[in-house]
Amino acid sequence: MVLLLEQLLNGLQLGVMLFLLAAGLTLVFGIMGVINLAHGSLYMVGAFAAAWVAAQTGSALLAVPAGLAAAALAGMAVELLVLRRLYARDHLDQVLATFGLILFFNQGAILLFGRQPLFVDIPEGLRGAVEIIPGVPYPAYRLAILAVGLLVAAGLYGLIRHTRTGMLVRAGATHREMVRALGVDVRKLYTLVFGLGALLAGLAGLMAGPIFSVQVGMGEQILIMTFVVVVIGGIGSVRGALAGALLVGLVDTLLRAYLPALLRGAMQGPDADALAAGLASMGVYLLMALVLLLRPRGLFPAHA
């Protein structure tokens, strides 16, 4: 019971991390029609910038703005220099160009920081554990991630539902051509959305630092999961991204936690562990295939 509660929280925490990435990706996808494989690179940029500043200054308070700024600046630079020219192109060109960006960012990170993973300490005030219910301690840092993720989700909801910019974002996701035809400066909107997405990716990256190691390739691992989330949720829908992220986070975490024990009932220990790890990794893709076959446009389709 206690284990289940911990695993559920772990799943939710992975879910909100995925949400931070998926929110930006789904908007870029839905509004600009761009498949941005380099979104994971922005996550990596945020993580490296924060890790480096934290190592240099020893201050988590400085690391946070550094990570956010680095990711947002990298994102806007990418949008201005490369992606802006790709909006009218087909998905193939976008995949190729953003694949090129991944190579560039990964090698750039190797040039600057080397191949060794960087390790980041958990900030001073968040090192301990909190008893969520009496007798069940849970790491404070992971709870903080969960809180930040949910706050951002609420903030995004407010931004998209109740502001003028949010109205344009929603309109852009459902009726792209019409927004353009009504004389809205879509280029400004695009840069804004892309910058926001990059900022959220950077936030996810800098929070991931103390949990996972900060290394080259970290972006691609989570990028593919993020695509799964976006497709499950419905492209262009932030609500769908939240639902999809929590679902994927829970499914992945629970499979990893319980599948080995289940399989060990039927097979040898090490073999069962290896097979369980593989099956658990397959789980979210199976989920995505099922969702796509039953509801090809995702759970919350944005394009009505």
Partner 1 sequence: MFRRARRPSPGWLVLPPLLALAIALPWAAEALGTPASTGLATRMAIYAIAASALNLVLGYGGMVSFGHAAFFGLGGYTVGILYAHWSWQEPLWGFIPGTTSLPVTLLAAMAVGGAGAALIGALSLRTRGVQFIMITLAFAQMLFFLFVSLKAYGGDDGLSVRRQGEFPGLNLRDAAQLYWLCLSLLVAWLLLLWRVTRSRFGQVLSGARQSERRLQALGIAPYPYKLAAFILSGMGAALAGALMANYARFVSPDMLAWTKSGELMIMVILGGVGTLMGPVLGAIALVGLEYWLAALTEHWQFVLGPLLIAVVLFARGGLMALLRRPGAPGRAQA
Beta strands in the chain (DSSP E): 129-133, 136-139
Residue 135 interacts with partner 1 (CB under 8 A): yes or no: no
Can you count the helices (H) and strands (E) in the chain? 11, 2
Q: How far apart are CA 109 and CA 56, in angstroms?
A: 17
The answer to the question of residue 106 lying near partner 1 (CB under 8 A) is: yes
Q: Cβ 241 to partner 1, closest distance in Å? A: 14
* Residue 292: CB minimum distance to partner 1, A: 5
Smallest separation (angstroms) from partner 1 to the CB of 13: 22
Handedness of CA 108, 110, 111, 112 (dihedral sign): positive
Interacting residue with partner 1 among 58, 65, 100, 114 (CB under 8 A): 100
Least distance in angstroms from the C-beta of 189 to partner 1: 21
Applying CB under 8 A, the span of 3-11, 151-159, 173-181, 219-227 interacting with partner 1 comes to: 219-227
Which residue type does 68 have?
Answer: L
Contacts of 251 (CB under 8 A, 6+ apart): 11, 283, 284, 287
CA distance 97 to 217: 18
Nearer to partner 1, 65 or 278 (CB): 278
Of residues 21, 102, 198, 204, which one binds partner 1 by CB under 8 A?
102
Q: Is 108 an interacting residue with respect to partner 1 (CB under 8 A)?
A: yes
Q: Is residue 303 involved in binding partner 1 (CB under 8 A)?
A: no
Distance CA 39, CA 28 (A): 10
99 touches partner 1 (CB under 8 A):
yes
The 8-class DSSP code of residue 211 comes to T
H-helix or E-strand spanning residue 41: helix 39-57
Q: Tell me: does residue 282 bind partner 1 (CB under 8 A).
A: yes
Pairing state between β 136-139 and 129-133: antiparallel
- Give the single-character DSSP code of 119: -
Tokens of 152: 């951002």
Q: Is 121 in the site for partner 1 (CB under 8 A)?
A: no
Q: In the complex with partner 1, which residue's Cβ is closer, 104 or 157?
A: 104
Letters for 57-96 (x = contact with partner 1 by CB under 8 A, - = none) are -------------------------x--xx--xxxxx-xx
Binder of partner 1 out of 74, 201, 288, 302 (CB under 8 A): 288
- In this chain, which of 16, 35, 243, 247 binds partner 1, going by CB under 8 A? 35
Per-residue interface string for the shown chain with partner 1, residues 230-259, x marking contact by CB under 8 A: -x---x------------------------
Tokens linked to 278: 């593989």
Please give the sequence-ordered ranges of beta strands (E in DSSP) within 102-150, or none if there are none: 129-133, 136-139
30 burial via Cβ count (<10 Å: 0-12, 13-18, 19+): buried
Q: Taking a C-beta distance cutoff of 8 angstroms, is the pair 219, 102 a contact?
A: yes
**Judged by CB under 8 A, which stretch of 12-20, 97-105, 187-195, 201-209 contacts partner 1?**
97-105
Q: Residue 164: what residue type?
A: R
180 phi and psi angles, rounded to 5 deg: -65, -45
Residues in contact with partner 1 by CB under 8 A are 29, 35, 37, 82, 85-86, 89-93, 95-97, 99-108, 110-111, 220, 224, 227-228, 231, 235, 270-271, 274-279, 281-282, 285-286, 288-289, 292-293, 296-297
